Amino acid sequence: MKQQRFIIPILTTAVALILALGSFGSLIRQSIRHDRLLVESEVGKIASFLTEQMLTSSVSDPPPLPDHVRGFALYGSNGHAVIGRGTYPSKLDTTRFISSPHGRTSGIPQERWIREKQGSLLLLRALGGAGMNGAGNLQGRGARVGMQSQGRLFLYLDYDTGAFLFQSRARVFLLLFGALLFIGASASSWIFYRRVRSYERELEEKKILTELGSAARTLTHELKNPLAVISMQEKILRRQFGKDKDLTASLDIIGEETERISDMIDRVRLLLKQPKGRPEPIELVPLLEERSQRLPFPVTIHDNTQARSPRIFCDKTLFVSAVENILRNGREAQGSDTPPLSVDISLLRNSVVISFADAGKGIPYDDKEKIFHPFFTTKQNGFGVGLSLVKSFAENAGGSIECRNKEAGGTIFRLTFPLYQKG
Protein backbone atom coordinates (compact mmCIF):
# COMPACT_ATOMS: atom_id res chain seq x y z
CA MET A 1 0.00 0.00 0.00
CA LYS A 2 2.78 2.42 0.88
CA GLN A 3 4.66 1.35 -2.23
CA GLN A 4 1.65 2.37 -4.32
CA ARG A 5 1.45 5.72 -2.56
CA PHE A 6 5.11 6.27 -3.39
CA ILE A 7 4.95 5.13 -7.04
CA ILE A 8 1.73 6.94 -8.01
CA PRO A 9 3.13 10.48 -7.36
CA ILE A 10 6.28 9.61 -9.36
CA LEU A 11 4.26 8.30 -12.31
CA THR A 12 1.92 11.29 -12.15
CA THR A 13 4.85 13.71 -12.14
CA ALA A 14 6.55 11.87 -15.02
CA VAL A 15 3.38 11.90 -17.13
CA ALA A 16 2.83 15.58 -16.37
CA LEU A 17 6.40 16.42 -17.40
CA ILE A 18 6.09 14.41 -20.63
CA LEU A 19 2.80 16.13 -21.49
CA ALA A 20 4.28 19.52 -20.64
CA LEU A 21 7.36 18.90 -22.78
CA GLY A 22 5.13 17.71 -25.63
CA SER A 23 3.00 20.83 -25.30
CA PHE A 24 6.01 23.11 -25.26
CA GLY A 25 7.47 21.28 -28.27
CA SER A 26 4.20 21.69 -30.14
CA LEU A 27 4.09 25.38 -29.24
CA ILE A 28 7.65 25.85 -30.51
CA ARG A 29 6.87 24.08 -33.80
CA GLN A 30 3.69 26.12 -34.25
CA SER A 31 5.56 29.32 -33.46
CA ILE A 32 8.25 28.56 -36.05
CA ARG A 33 5.62 27.65 -38.65
CA HIS A 34 3.62 30.79 -37.85
CA ASP A 35 6.70 32.98 -38.26
CA ARG A 36 7.58 31.29 -41.56
CA LEU A 37 4.06 31.79 -42.95
CA LEU A 38 4.00 35.36 -41.69
CA VAL A 39 7.24 36.36 -43.39
CA GLU A 40 6.26 34.58 -46.61
CA SER A 41 2.93 36.40 -46.64
CA GLU A 42 4.68 39.72 -46.03
CA VAL A 43 7.20 39.06 -48.81
CA GLY A 44 4.42 38.04 -51.19
CA LYS A 45 2.56 41.29 -50.57
CA ILE A 46 5.73 43.33 -51.09
CA ALA A 47 6.45 41.45 -54.33
CA SER A 48 3.00 42.22 -55.70
CA PHE A 49 3.28 45.87 -54.68
CA LEU A 50 6.73 46.33 -56.22
CA THR A 51 5.69 44.57 -59.41
CA GLU A 52 2.78 46.94 -59.88
CA GLN A 53 4.92 49.96 -59.02
CA MET A 54 7.73 48.95 -61.35
CA LEU A 55 5.37 48.35 -64.26
CA THR A 56 3.45 51.61 -63.85
CA SER A 57 6.17 54.07 -62.78
CA SER A 58 8.44 55.97 -65.13
CA VAL A 59 11.96 54.87 -65.82
CA SER A 60 13.37 58.13 -64.47
CA ASP A 61 11.48 57.84 -61.20
CA PRO A 62 11.53 54.19 -60.04
CA PRO A 63 9.81 53.47 -56.70
CA PRO A 64 12.00 53.12 -53.58
CA LEU A 65 12.49 49.73 -52.02
CA PRO A 66 10.62 49.07 -48.76
CA ASP A 67 12.49 48.32 -45.53
CA HIS A 68 14.27 44.97 -45.33
CA VAL A 69 14.16 44.50 -49.13
CA ARG A 70 17.74 44.10 -50.38
CA GLY A 71 16.98 43.74 -54.06
CA PHE A 72 14.13 43.48 -56.55
CA ALA A 73 14.21 42.83 -60.30
CA LEU A 74 12.09 41.71 -63.24
CA TYR A 75 13.64 39.39 -65.83
CA GLY A 76 12.66 38.57 -69.36
CA SER A 77 12.19 35.08 -70.72
CA ASN A 78 15.87 35.09 -71.77
CA GLY A 79 16.90 35.47 -68.12
CA HIS A 80 18.32 39.00 -68.39
CA ALA A 81 17.20 41.72 -65.96
CA VAL A 82 14.75 44.21 -67.49
CA ILE A 83 14.44 46.50 -64.50
CA GLY A 84 15.49 46.32 -60.89
CA ARG A 85 16.52 48.08 -57.70
CA GLY A 86 19.03 47.25 -54.99
CA THR A 87 21.19 44.16 -55.17
CA TYR A 88 20.17 41.48 -57.65
CA PRO A 89 21.87 39.11 -60.11
CA SER A 90 22.26 40.29 -63.71
CA LYS A 91 20.99 36.99 -65.08
CA LEU A 92 18.38 34.58 -63.73
CA ASP A 93 18.08 30.88 -64.46
CA THR A 94 14.48 30.71 -65.69
CA THR A 95 14.62 26.93 -66.15
CA ARG A 96 13.77 26.61 -62.45
CA PHE A 97 10.14 27.30 -63.34
CA ILE A 98 8.10 24.56 -65.00
CA SER A 99 5.11 25.52 -67.09
CA SER A 100 1.91 23.57 -67.25
CA PRO A 101 1.20 21.28 -70.26
CA HIS A 102 0.95 22.85 -73.76
CA GLY A 103 3.32 25.65 -72.68
CA ARG A 104 0.64 27.64 -70.86
CA THR A 105 0.88 28.93 -67.30
CA SER A 106 -1.78 28.20 -64.78
CA GLY A 107 -3.87 30.88 -63.10
CA ILE A 108 -1.77 30.59 -59.92
CA PRO A 109 1.71 32.18 -60.22
CA GLN A 110 4.49 29.63 -60.06
CA GLU A 111 7.06 30.55 -57.43
CA ARG A 112 9.97 29.24 -55.41
CA TRP A 113 11.18 30.16 -51.96
CA ILE A 114 14.89 29.94 -51.26
CA ARG A 115 16.32 30.49 -47.78
CA GLU A 116 19.96 31.42 -47.57
CA LYS A 117 22.23 31.19 -44.53
CA GLN A 118 22.93 34.92 -44.52
CA GLY A 119 19.41 35.68 -43.27
CA SER A 120 17.88 36.22 -46.72
CA LEU A 121 14.63 34.94 -48.14
CA LEU A 122 14.59 34.84 -51.93
CA LEU A 123 11.33 34.83 -53.83
CA LEU A 124 11.44 33.70 -57.47
CA ARG A 125 8.09 34.02 -59.20
CA ALA A 126 6.92 33.47 -62.79
CA LEU A 127 4.47 36.26 -63.52
CA GLY A 128 1.23 35.26 -65.26
CA GLY A 129 -2.52 35.59 -65.08
CA ALA A 130 -3.89 39.14 -64.87
CA GLY A 131 -1.90 41.62 -66.92
CA MET A 132 -0.54 38.87 -69.21
CA ASN A 133 -1.85 37.43 -72.44
CA GLY A 134 -1.98 33.74 -73.18
CA ALA A 135 1.68 33.64 -74.11
CA GLY A 136 2.68 35.42 -70.92
CA ASN A 137 3.31 38.84 -72.56
CA LEU A 138 2.41 42.13 -70.89
CA GLN A 139 -0.81 43.79 -71.86
CA GLY A 140 -2.86 46.72 -70.58
CA ARG A 141 -2.46 50.43 -70.06
CA GLY A 142 -0.04 50.34 -67.22
CA ALA A 143 2.62 48.23 -68.89
CA ARG A 144 5.96 49.87 -69.53
CA VAL A 145 6.89 50.55 -73.09
CA GLY A 146 9.37 47.97 -74.36
CA MET A 147 8.47 45.25 -71.86
CA GLN A 148 5.97 43.66 -74.23
CA SER A 149 8.89 42.39 -76.29
CA GLN A 150 10.41 40.59 -73.32
CA GLY A 151 7.83 37.80 -73.39
CA ARG A 152 7.10 36.20 -70.08
CA LEU A 153 8.48 38.04 -67.02
CA PHE A 154 10.08 36.57 -63.91
CA LEU A 155 10.30 38.24 -60.51
CA TYR A 156 13.24 38.22 -58.15
CA LEU A 157 13.02 39.59 -54.58
CA ASP A 158 15.69 39.41 -51.87
CA TYR A 159 14.24 40.03 -48.41
CA ASP A 160 16.30 40.48 -45.22
CA THR A 161 14.73 38.20 -42.58
CA GLY A 162 17.04 39.29 -39.76
CA ALA A 163 14.29 41.07 -37.81
CA PHE A 164 11.87 38.17 -38.23
CA LEU A 165 14.55 35.65 -37.25
CA PHE A 166 15.38 37.66 -34.15
CA GLN A 167 11.73 37.79 -33.10
CA SER A 168 11.24 34.11 -33.89
CA ARG A 169 14.33 33.07 -31.97
CA ALA A 170 13.36 35.30 -29.08
CA ARG A 171 9.93 33.65 -28.98
CA VAL A 172 11.47 30.17 -29.13
CA PHE A 173 13.93 31.13 -26.41
CA LEU A 174 11.08 32.36 -24.21
CA LEU A 175 9.18 29.12 -24.77
CA LEU A 176 12.26 27.05 -23.96
CA PHE A 177 12.94 29.22 -20.94
CA GLY A 178 9.34 28.72 -19.84
CA ALA A 179 9.69 24.96 -20.31
CA LEU A 180 12.87 24.92 -18.24
CA LEU A 181 11.19 27.01 -15.56
CA PHE A 182 8.27 24.61 -15.50
CA ILE A 183 10.54 21.58 -15.24
CA GLY A 184 12.64 23.29 -12.59
CA ALA A 185 9.54 24.29 -10.65
CA SER A 186 8.16 20.74 -10.89
CA ALA A 187 11.46 19.23 -9.75
CA SER A 188 11.75 21.77 -6.93
CA SER A 189 8.18 21.05 -5.85
CA TRP A 190 8.89 17.33 -5.77
CA ILE A 191 12.12 17.83 -3.80
CA PHE A 192 10.35 20.24 -1.47
CA TYR A 193 7.53 17.71 -0.99
CA ARG A 194 10.00 14.96 -0.14
CA ARG A 195 11.86 17.21 2.29
CA VAL A 196 8.63 18.27 3.95
CA ARG A 197 7.66 14.62 4.37
CA SER A 198 11.10 13.90 5.81
CA TYR A 199 10.83 16.85 8.19
CA GLU A 200 7.37 15.70 9.23
CA ARG A 201 8.71 12.26 10.08
CA GLU A 202 11.61 13.78 12.01
CA LEU A 203 9.23 16.08 13.89
CA GLU A 204 7.00 13.14 14.69
CA GLU A 205 9.96 11.20 16.07
CA LYS A 206 11.17 14.20 18.06
CA LYS A 207 7.68 14.73 19.41
CA ILE A 208 7.63 11.15 20.62
CA LEU A 209 11.08 11.52 22.16
CA THR A 210 10.11 14.81 23.80
CA GLU A 211 7.04 13.25 25.33
CA LEU A 212 9.10 10.32 26.49
CA GLY A 213 11.72 12.68 27.88
CA SER A 214 9.21 14.20 30.25
CA ALA A 215 8.18 10.71 31.31
CA ALA A 216 11.73 9.37 31.62
CA ARG A 217 12.34 10.91 35.02
CA THR A 218 9.04 9.57 36.26
CA LEU A 219 9.88 6.11 34.94
CA THR A 220 13.28 6.25 36.63
CA HIS A 221 12.04 7.27 40.06
CA GLU A 222 8.62 5.64 40.10
CA LEU A 223 9.58 2.30 38.58
CA LYS A 224 13.25 1.70 39.31
CA ASN A 225 12.90 1.77 43.09
CA PRO A 226 9.82 -0.51 43.22
CA LEU A 227 11.51 -2.87 40.79
CA ALA A 228 14.55 -3.04 43.06
CA VAL A 229 12.28 -3.91 46.01
CA ILE A 230 10.47 -6.59 43.97
CA SER A 231 13.78 -8.08 42.88
CA MET A 232 15.04 -8.14 46.45
CA GLN A 233 11.85 -9.81 47.71
CA GLU A 234 12.06 -12.38 44.91
CA LYS A 235 15.56 -13.36 46.08
CA ILE A 236 14.42 -13.57 49.70
CA LEU A 237 11.48 -15.82 48.81
CA ARG A 238 13.79 -17.99 46.71
CA ARG A 239 16.05 -18.57 49.73
CA GLN A 240 13.13 -19.46 52.00
CA PHE A 241 11.11 -21.61 49.59
CA GLY A 242 13.73 -22.73 47.11
CA LYS A 243 12.69 -26.40 47.48
CA ASP A 244 9.12 -25.74 46.35
CA LYS A 245 9.26 -26.34 42.60
CA ASP A 246 5.90 -24.69 41.84
CA LEU A 247 6.82 -21.59 43.81
CA THR A 248 10.31 -21.52 42.26
CA ALA A 249 8.80 -21.53 38.77
CA SER A 250 6.62 -18.56 39.70
CA LEU A 251 9.61 -16.76 41.19
CA ASP A 252 11.50 -17.37 37.94
CA ILE A 253 8.74 -15.64 36.02
CA ILE A 254 8.76 -12.73 38.47
CA GLY A 255 12.53 -12.40 38.16
CA GLU A 256 12.51 -12.53 34.37
CA GLU A 257 9.73 -9.95 34.02
CA THR A 258 11.37 -7.66 36.58
CA GLU A 259 14.65 -7.84 34.70
CA ARG A 260 12.84 -7.24 31.39
CA ILE A 261 11.11 -4.09 32.66
CA SER A 262 14.33 -2.80 34.21
CA ASP A 263 16.16 -3.38 30.93
CA MET A 264 13.43 -1.54 29.01
CA ILE A 265 13.76 1.50 31.31
CA ASP A 266 17.54 1.55 30.86
CA ARG A 267 17.18 1.36 27.08
CA VAL A 268 14.65 4.19 26.99
CA ARG A 269 16.93 6.38 29.08
CA LEU A 270 19.85 5.59 26.77
CA LEU A 271 17.75 6.38 23.68
CA LEU A 272 16.61 9.74 25.04
CA LYS A 273 20.11 10.86 25.95
CA GLN A 274 21.55 9.91 22.53
CA PRO A 275 25.08 9.71 23.95
CA LYS A 276 28.22 9.66 21.85
CA GLY A 277 29.94 7.87 24.69
CA ARG A 278 33.71 7.96 24.73
CA PRO A 279 34.91 7.79 21.14
CA GLU A 280 38.24 6.12 20.43
CA PRO A 281 39.97 4.55 17.40
CA ILE A 282 38.79 0.94 16.98
CA GLU A 283 40.50 -1.80 15.00
CA LEU A 284 37.38 -3.11 13.31
CA VAL A 285 38.26 -6.59 12.03
CA PRO A 286 39.93 -7.95 15.19
CA LEU A 287 37.10 -6.62 17.36
CA LEU A 288 34.38 -8.22 15.23
CA GLU A 289 36.23 -11.53 15.11
CA GLU A 290 36.65 -11.52 18.89
CA ARG A 291 33.01 -10.66 19.62
CA SER A 292 31.66 -13.18 17.12
CA GLN A 293 33.42 -16.00 18.98
CA ARG A 294 31.64 -15.06 22.21
CA LEU A 295 28.15 -15.25 20.74
CA PRO A 296 26.08 -18.42 21.35
CA PHE A 297 25.45 -18.88 17.60
CA PRO A 298 27.79 -19.10 14.59
CA VAL A 299 28.85 -15.95 12.74
CA THR A 300 31.15 -15.79 9.70
CA ILE A 301 33.37 -12.71 9.23
CA HIS A 302 34.46 -11.76 5.69
CA ASP A 303 37.24 -9.18 5.47
CA ASN A 304 37.10 -7.56 2.02
CA THR A 305 39.48 -4.72 2.86
CA GLN A 306 42.60 -6.51 1.52
CA ALA A 307 44.22 -6.64 4.96
CA ARG A 308 44.17 -2.86 5.35
CA SER A 309 42.79 -3.22 8.89
CA PRO A 310 40.37 -0.26 8.78
CA ARG A 311 39.64 1.74 11.90
CA ILE A 312 36.61 3.76 12.95
CA PHE A 313 36.24 6.40 15.66
CA CYS A 314 33.40 5.74 18.11
CA ASP A 315 32.53 4.40 21.54
CA LYS A 316 33.66 0.78 21.69
CA THR A 317 30.99 -0.39 24.12
CA LEU A 318 28.16 1.20 22.16
CA PHE A 319 29.53 -0.21 18.91
CA VAL A 320 29.65 -3.75 20.32
CA SER A 321 26.11 -3.33 21.65
CA ALA A 322 24.87 -2.17 18.23
CA VAL A 323 26.57 -5.07 16.41
CA GLU A 324 25.24 -7.67 18.84
CA ASN A 325 21.75 -6.18 18.59
CA ILE A 326 21.72 -6.60 14.79
CA LEU A 327 23.19 -10.12 14.99
CA ARG A 328 20.67 -11.26 17.60
CA ASN A 329 17.82 -9.89 15.51
CA GLY A 330 19.17 -11.80 12.50
CA ARG A 331 19.45 -15.00 14.50
CA GLU A 332 15.87 -14.67 15.73
CA ALA A 333 14.67 -13.97 12.19
CA GLN A 334 16.26 -17.05 10.58
CA GLY A 335 16.01 -19.53 13.46
CA SER A 336 18.53 -21.99 14.86
CA ASP A 337 18.71 -24.68 12.14
CA THR A 338 20.08 -22.31 9.51
CA PRO A 339 23.47 -21.30 8.06
CA PRO A 340 25.72 -18.96 10.08
CA LEU A 341 25.09 -15.25 9.95
CA SER A 342 27.39 -13.39 7.58
CA VAL A 343 29.30 -10.18 8.33
CA ASP A 344 31.10 -8.52 5.42
CA ILE A 345 33.56 -5.65 5.94
CA SER A 346 34.44 -3.49 2.95
CA LEU A 347 35.73 -0.03 2.08
CA LEU A 348 33.77 2.50 0.04
CA ARG A 349 35.78 5.65 -0.69
CA ASN A 350 36.43 7.17 2.76
CA SER A 351 33.91 4.98 4.59
CA VAL A 352 33.80 1.54 6.16
CA VAL A 353 30.73 -0.55 5.37
CA ILE A 354 29.71 -3.45 7.62
CA SER A 355 27.00 -5.67 6.11
CA PHE A 356 25.04 -8.12 8.27
CA ALA A 357 23.15 -10.78 6.28
CA ASP A 358 20.67 -13.34 7.58
CA ALA A 359 18.59 -16.04 5.89
CA GLY A 360 15.22 -15.13 7.37
CA LYS A 361 11.98 -14.16 5.66
CA GLY A 362 12.98 -10.55 5.09
CA ILE A 363 11.20 -7.38 6.19
CA PRO A 364 7.78 -6.46 4.75
CA TYR A 365 7.94 -3.37 2.56
CA ASP A 366 5.51 -1.43 4.74
CA ASP A 367 7.76 -2.01 7.79
CA LYS A 368 11.06 -0.89 6.24
CA GLU A 369 10.57 2.75 7.18
CA LYS A 370 9.20 1.88 10.63
CA ILE A 371 11.76 -0.53 12.00
CA PHE A 372 14.05 2.30 13.13
CA HIS A 373 11.19 4.20 14.81
CA PRO A 374 11.07 4.11 18.61
CA PHE A 375 8.80 1.39 20.04
CA PHE A 376 7.97 -0.21 16.71
CA THR A 377 8.38 -3.97 16.89
CA THR A 378 7.10 -7.10 15.19
CA LYS A 379 8.22 -9.37 18.04
CA GLN A 380 5.75 -10.67 20.55
CA ASN A 381 7.93 -9.73 23.52
CA GLY A 382 9.96 -6.93 21.91
CA PHE A 383 10.24 -3.32 23.04
CA GLY A 384 10.99 -1.71 19.67
CA VAL A 385 13.97 0.27 20.96
CA GLY A 386 16.92 -1.90 19.84
CA LEU A 387 17.22 -0.67 16.26
CA SER A 388 16.32 2.85 17.38
CA LEU A 389 19.37 2.75 19.67
CA VAL A 390 21.52 1.38 16.83
CA LYS A 391 20.36 4.19 14.52
CA SER A 392 20.93 6.81 17.21
CA PHE A 393 24.44 5.48 17.89
CA ALA A 394 25.40 5.29 14.19
CA GLU A 395 24.22 8.84 13.46
CA ASN A 396 25.95 10.23 16.55
CA ALA A 397 29.15 8.56 15.35
CA GLY A 398 28.83 10.26 11.94
CA GLY A 399 27.55 7.13 10.19
CA SER A 400 24.27 5.64 9.07
CA ILE A 401 22.27 2.43 8.93
CA GLU A 402 20.03 1.01 6.22
CA CYS A 403 18.39 -2.28 5.39
CA ARG A 404 17.16 -4.13 2.32
CA ASN A 405 15.83 -7.57 1.51
CA LYS A 406 17.91 -10.11 -0.39
CA GLU A 407 16.55 -11.59 -3.59
CA ALA A 408 17.16 -15.12 -2.31
CA GLY A 409 15.47 -14.35 1.01
CA GLY A 410 16.66 -12.72 4.18
CA THR A 411 17.75 -9.23 5.13
CA ILE A 412 20.95 -7.19 4.89
CA PHE A 413 21.65 -4.41 7.40
CA ARG A 414 24.44 -2.03 6.44
CA LEU A 415 26.29 0.06 9.00
CA THR A 416 28.45 2.80 7.46
CA PHE A 417 31.09 4.75 9.41
CA PRO A 418 33.70 7.31 8.37
CA LEU A 419 37.14 5.75 7.93
CA TYR A 420 39.50 6.85 10.70
CA GLN A 421 42.86 7.70 9.14
CA LYS A 422 44.75 9.65 11.82
CA GLY A 423 47.89 8.32 13.44
CA dist., res. 395 & res. 254, Å (int): 36
Decide if 111 contacts 122 (C-beta within 8 A): no
Per-residue confidence band for 248, with pLDDT thresholds at 50, 70 and 90: confident
Q: What is the pTM of this model?
A: 0.48
Q: Mean of the per-residue pLDDT values for the chain? A: 77
64 and 82 in a single domain? The answer is yes
Decide if 182 contacts 20 (C-beta within 8 A): yes
Q: What is the pLDDT of residue 127?
A: 80
> In this structure, which long-range contacts are made by residues 385-388, counting pairs with CB atoms below 8 Å and at least 24 apart in sequence?
385/264, 385/267, 385/268, 385/271, 386/267, 386/325, 386/329, 387/325, 387/326, 387/329, 388/271
Decide if 415 contacts 401 (C-beta within 8 A): yes
299 and 410 in a single domain? The answer is yes
Q: What is the pLDDT of residue 381?
A: 64
Mind listing the pLDDT tens digit for each residue in 116-130? Answer: 556 788 888 888 533
Do the bridges between strand 81-86 and strand 69-75 make them parallel or antiparallel, or are there none, so unpaired? Answer: antiparallel
Q: What is the pLDDT of residue 323?
A: 92
Helix (H, G, I), strand (E, B) or coil at 353: strand
The helix (H) or strand (E) run that includes residue 154 is strand 154-160
258 and 395 in a single domain? The answer is no
Judge whether 242 lies within some domain: yes
CA dist., res. 312 & res. 286, Å (int): 12
Question: Among the three residues 273, 303, 325, which one is the final residue of a domain in this structure?
Answer: 273
Rounded alpha-carbon distances, angstroms, from residue 365 to 6, 217, 319, 380, 404 = 12, 36, 27, 20, 9
What is the phi/psi pair of residue 216, to 5°?
-65, -45
408 and 298 in a single domain? The answer is yes
Question: Among the three residues 249, 273, 297, which one is the final residue of a domain in this structure?
Answer: 273
268 and 312 in a single domain? The answer is no
175 and 232 in a single domain? The answer is yes
Judge whether 17 lies within some domain: yes
Q: What is the pLDDT of residue 138?
A: 43
- Structural domains counted in the chain: 3
Q: What is the pLDDT of residue 343?
A: 93
pLDDT-wise least confident of 15-19, 79-83, 114-118, 200-204: 114-118
260 and 287 in a single domain? The answer is no
261 and 227 in a single domain? The answer is yes
Look up the CATH number of the domain holding residue 73: 3.30.450
Question: Among the three residues 273, 303, 329, which one is the final residue of a domain in this structure?
Answer: 273
Per the structure, the complete domain to which residue 211 belongs is given by 169-273
Q: What is the pLDDT of residue 212?
A: 61
